[in-house]
Structure 1
Amino acid sequence: MTNTISLSSKAITKLTTPQLLKGGLYLTWGASFLVLIATISGVQSARHAIKTVGKDSAPSIISAQRIKDSLADMDANAANEFLVPSGQNPEAVKSYEERRQKVNRMMLDAAKNITYDEEDKIILTLQVKLGEYLTKIQQVRDFHARNDKNGVLVHYREAADLIDNTLLPAADKLNEVNWKALDRTYGDEQFASARSLFLVVISSFLLISILVAIQLFLSNRMRRTLNPMLLAATAIAILFLGYTTRAFLSASNNLKVAKEDGLQSIQDLRKARSIAYSANGDESRYLLDTALAAKHEQAYSKKVSQLATFAQGQDFQTVATSFAQSQVKEVNGFTGYLADELKNITFDGEREAAVDTLSNFGQYYAIDQQIRQLQRSGKYAEAIALCVGNKPGQSNWAFAQFLQANQNTIDINQKAFDEAVDQGFKDVDGFEVVTLVVAVAIALLTLFGLLPRIKEYSA
C-alpha cells in the first residue's frame, strides 16, 4: 500500500503545471457531475416518498375507514328503523339511504384507485356482499311493514351476519393492505433519503475539496493568492450544499410529520370512529333482538374496550379531566384507540379536541347504561325511546356529539397532514433545474478560472 502511494506521488510530481491544472479541471467537472447525479437521485426519491404517503396510500387508507363507517352506521340505522313500528322513524330511514348512496360512491372510487393487487379482490367482495346485504334489509322491511316480528328477526340476523363477518372485515382488510404497504414504503424511503443525503454531502465535500486544493496549488505554485472564478465556484458549492442539506432534511421532516404525527392520528381516530359506529349498532340490536341480548351486549362491551380501557377507579370523565388539566402524554392503565390518539398529540388545538372526543363518548356510554337499566327493569318502550332519540340527553344526540368532536380532531390532523405533504413537495420543487444550473455554473467558472493560467504555459 505504501509503495502504491509512493509511486502515485512520484507520478504526480512528474506532471507539468498545465497537466496538473487540466487534471484539476477534469476532476472538478467529474465531482460536479457526481453532485448532479446524487442530488437529482435524492430529490426524486424524496418526491416519490411524499407522493406515496400523501397521494397514493393515505387516501386509500382513509377511504377504507370511511367505507367501514358507512357500513356500520347504515346497519345501526336499519336496526333503529326496526325498533319502532314501520314508518315511525323517518330519520333512521333517511340516514340509512344517505349512507347507502355514500358507500356505493366510495366503493366505486376505490375501484378506480386500485394501487395494490390485493385490493381488487377485496373491493369485489365488498361490492357483491353489499348487494346481498341490501337485499336482506329490504326483506326485513317487508316483514316489518306486515308487523311480522319473527320474519324481521330471522332476516335481520342474516343481514347482521353479512355486516359483522364479511363486510366490516373486508373493509378492515382493505385498510390493512394499504397501511402495510405504506409502512413498508415509508421505511424504505426513510433509508433512501438518509443514503441520498449522505451521497450528496460526500460528493459536495469532494467537489469543495478539489476546488480548495486547486486554489492552494495556484497560490503556492504561481504566487496568485486569489482566483475570483474559483472562489465563486467554491462559494456556490458551499451554498448549494447548505441549501440542499436544508431542503432534504426539511422534506424528510415533513414526511415524518405527515406519516407519524398526522396520518397515524387520523388512522387511530378513524378506527375509533368506525368501531363506535359498530358499537352503536350493537346497542340497537340489544333492544331489537332480545333473544340474543347477551350476545349483543358482549359485542358492545368488547368494542368499547377497543376504544378505551381504564385502570380500576378510572372512567371516561376522570381520565378526560386528567388530560384537560395537565400536559400529560398518557395516564397509567388507560389504553385503546382514544388513548393512542392522546399519546400522539402534536398540533395546536388537538389536545382539546381529543379530550372532547373522550369526554363525549363517556357521555354516550353513560346513556347506554341507562338504556340497559331501563330494559332490565321492564321499561322496554322507554329504553327504545332513549336509544333512538335525538334530543339532548338521548343516545343519538350524545353519539352525534362524540362524532363531531372526533371529526374536529380528525380535521386538525388532516390539515396538518395536507400542509406537511404540500411543504414536502415544495422543499424539492424545481431541484433538478437548480442542480443542473449549479453544476454547469461551477464547471464553467472553474474553466474560466483555470484557462488563463493554462494559456500562460501554452504561450
Structure 2
Amino acid sequence: MSKIIALFSQKNYKLTTPKRLQIGLYLTGATSLLLLIAIISAVQGQRHAIKTVGQDSTPSIVTAQRLKDAFADMDANVANELLVPAGQNQDAVKGYEEQYQKAAERLVAAAENITYADKERKPIQTMQLGLGNYIAQIQQARDFHARGDTNAMLIAYRAAAELMDKTLLPAADELDKVNIQALEETYTEQKVAANNSLILIFVSGAALMIVLVGIQIFLSQRMRRTLNPMLLVATAITLALLTYTTVTLQAAGDNLRTAKEDAFNSMHALRQASANAYIANAAESRYLLDPAFATNYERAFFSNIVQIAQIPQGQTAETIASAYNSQGKKIDGFKGYIAEELNNITFPGEKEATLASLVSLGQYLAIDQQIRQLERSGKHQEAIALCLGNKSGQSNWLFEEFKTANQKTFDINQAVFDRSIHQGFSNIDGFEIKMVIAATTVVLLSFFGLLPRLKEYSN
C-alpha cells in the first residue's frame, strides 16, 4: 500500500508523469483482477457449501433416516401380523406392504443422489441385498404361521430380525454418517473460508481504491484539473462493488447458517427421534411375539426410547413439557433428541409441536407399561389387544399421535430449510458475471479517463 501511495507522490522524481499514469493503469488492472478473483473464489465457495448442505448431503441424510423408519415399521407390522392367527390382522399386512414400497422408493432415491462414491454406494448396496434376504425370511415366517407351526415361525422370524438389527439398520446409519460428516466438514470449512475471503476482498478492494484515488489526487495536483469524471465513476463503482459483494455474501452466509444451524440440526434430531421410535415400537411387538427373547426386546425398547427422551427421576413427560411451555425452563437431566430440538427452537409453532410429541411419547410409554404388566400377569391376549389397538388411548393410536407431532415439527423446519437454501442460491445467482462486468468497467473507465492525459504527452 505504501509503495502505491509513494508512486503518486510529487516528491517522487524518478518517474515521469506519463510513466506514472501508465503504471497507474497497470495497477488498476492488476488490483481489479485480484479483487475479481477474490470475489469469484468467495462466491464459488459459498455456492459449493450451499449445494453440499442443501442438495447433496441433507436429502441423503433424511432418506437414510426414512429408510430406518420404513425398515423398522415393516418389522413392527410383521410382528403385529404374527401376534394373531393368520389372516386376522389385515391392517398389519397392508402396513407391511406400504412400508416395503416406501423402502424400495427410498433406496432408489438414495442411489440417485450418490455424491461420495463408494462411501454411499456400499451401504446402499448392503440395504438392497439385505432387504431381499429379509423379505425371504419373513415369507418363511408367514408360511409357517399359516400352518400353525409356531416354533418354525419364530426361528424364521428371528433370522429376519437379525438381518434387520445387524444389517439393514446399521447400513442406513452408515449412509447417514457419511453424509453428516461431509456436511459438517464442508460447513465448518466454508465458515473459515468465508472470513478469509472477505479479508482478501477488503485488502484487494482497498488497494484498488488507493490506486484510483491516488491517480485522481496526482492528476489534480500535477495538471490542475479538479476531478477526472471517468476515474470518479470508476471509484464509485469500486465502492459500490465492495458494498454489494459484502452484503450479498453475508446474506448468502446467513441463509446457509439458518438452513444448517437452525433448520437442519433440528431436522436431523427429529428424524433420528422418529427412527428410534419406529424401532422401539417394533421391539414392543417383538416382546409379545417371542417370549424366549422378551428380556432382550424389552431392553432394546427402552434403549431406543432413552435416545428419544431421557426423563430424569422425579419428572414425567408432562411436567417437563409444562416447565418448557409455561416457564421456558430447562430441566436438568432431560436429554435425548427431543431435548436437542427444544434447545434449538427458532420458528413459530416449533415449540408447541415438539412439546406435543413429548407428551404423546409419555402417554405411549404409560400404555407400554400396562402392556408389560398384562403380559407378566399372564393376560397375553389383553396385552396383544392393547398393543395392536388403534382406538384413543391404545398403543398404536398414541404412536400415531407421536408421529404426527414429530412430523409437524419436522415440516416446520423443512419449509425454512428449503426456503433458506433457495434464497442462498438466489443471493449469488449470476454473481460472477456481474462482477466481471463491474471490474471490466472500472478498468475501461480508468483507461479512457487517462487516455487524453497520455495523449497530451505523446504530442
* TM-score in same-fold range (> 0.5): yes
Instruction: Report matched runs for 1:101-180 at 5 Å.
Output: 101-116=101-116, 117-180=118-181
Deviations 1:327-363, CA, capped at 9 Å, x for gaps: 34x3211001111111111222211111111111111
SS in 2 for 1:311: coil
- Stretches of structure 2 that go unaligned for 5 or more consecutive residues are none
CA distance 1:155–1:393, shift in 2 (3 Å) = same
CA distance in 1, matches of 2:271, 2:357: 12
Contact 2:39-2:197 at 8 Å conserved across structures: yes
Instruction: Report the Cα offset of residue 7 of structure 1.
Output: 12
CA distance in 2, matches of 1:237, 1:94: 65
Partner residue of 1:451?
451
Partner residue of 1:192?
193
Instruction: Report matched runs for 1:58-457 at 5 Å.
Output: 58-116=58-116, 117-328=118-329, 330-457=330-457
CA distance in 2, matches of 1:247, 1:263: 22
CA distance in 1, matches of 2:7, 2:373: 95
CA distance in 2, matches of 1:444, 1:319: 67
> How many percent identity over aligned positions?
56
CA distance in 2, matches of 1:287, 1:252: 52
CA distance in 1, matches of 2:56, 2:227: 52
Partner residue of 1:42?
42
SS in 2 for 1:80: helix
Residue type of the alignment partner of 2:414:
Q
Residue type of the alignment partner of 1:54:
G
CA distance in 2, matches of 1:431, 1:360: 48
SS in 2 for 1:13: coil
CA distance in 2, matches of 1:317, 1:87: 39
SS in 1 for 2:436: helix
CA distance in 2, matches of 1:206, 1:299: 64
Instruction: Report the Cα offset of residue 6 of structure 1.
Output: 10
CA distance in 1, matches of 2:190, 2:436: 24
Deviations 1:147-186, CA, capped at 9 Å, x for gaps: 2221221211111111111111111111111111211222
CA distance 1:8–1:446, shift in 2 (3 Å) = closer
CA distance in 1, matches of 2:167, 2:31: 59
CA distance in 2, matches of 1:409, 1:35: 44
Residue type of the alignment partner of 1:24:
G
CA distance in 1, matches of 2:7, 2:171: 70
CA distance 1:146–1:7, shift in 2 (3 Å) = closer
TM-score scaled by length of structure 1: 0.95
Correspondence 1:21 to 2:39: no
Contact 2:307-2:336 at 8 Å conserved across structures: yes
Deviations 1:296-338, CA, capped at 9 Å, x for gaps: 111111111111112221121111111111334x321100111
CA RMSD between the two structures: 1.9
CA distance in 1, matches of 2:361, 2:300: 17
TM-score scaled by length of structure 2: 0.95
CA distance in 1, matches of 2:164, 2:281: 14
Partner residue of 2:57?
57
Contact 2:6-2:12 at 8 Å conserved across structures: no
SS in 2 for 1:145: helix
Contact 2:202-2:242 at 8 Å conserved across structures: yes
Instruction: Report the Cα offset of residue 109 of structure 1.
Output: 2.5
Residue type of the alignment partner of 1:22:
Q
CA distance 1:172–1:362, shift in 2 (3 Å) = same
CA distance in 2, matches of 1:9, 1:433: 36
- Deviates further, 143-152 or 11-20: 11-20
Q: Aligned pairs, how many?
A: 455
Residue type of the alignment partner of 1:233:
A
Instruction: Report the Cα offset of residue 12 of structure 1.
Output: 4.1
Instruction: Report the Cα offset of residue 252 of structure 1.
Output: 1.5
CA distance 1:7–1:123, shift in 2 (3 Å) = closer
- Deviates further, 388-397 or 214-223: 214-223
CA distance in 1, matches of 2:333, 2:261: 23
CA distance 1:188–1:445, shift in 2 (3 Å) = same
CA distance in 2, matches of 1:414, 1:83: 37
- Deviates further, 396-405 or 179-188: 179-188
Instruction: Report the Cα offset of residue 121 of structure 1.
Output: 1.8
CA distance in 2, matches of 1:11, 1:111: 69
Contact 2:68-2:172 at 8 Å conserved across structures: yes
Instruction: Report the Cα offset of residue 225 of structure 1.
Output: 2.0
Instruction: Report the Cα offset of residue 378 of structure 1.
Output: 2.2
Residue type of the alignment partner of 2:112:
K
Instruction: Report the Cα offset of residue 11 of structure 1.
Output: 9.9
Instruction: Report the Cα offset of residue 111 of structure 1.
Output: 2.2
Residue type of the alignment partner of 1:397:
W
Instruction: Report the Cα offset of residue 8 of structure 1.
Output: 12
**Runs of 4+ with >3 A deviation:** 5-12
Contact 2:8-2:215 at 8 Å conserved across structures: no
CA distance in 2, matches of 1:430, 1:6: 38
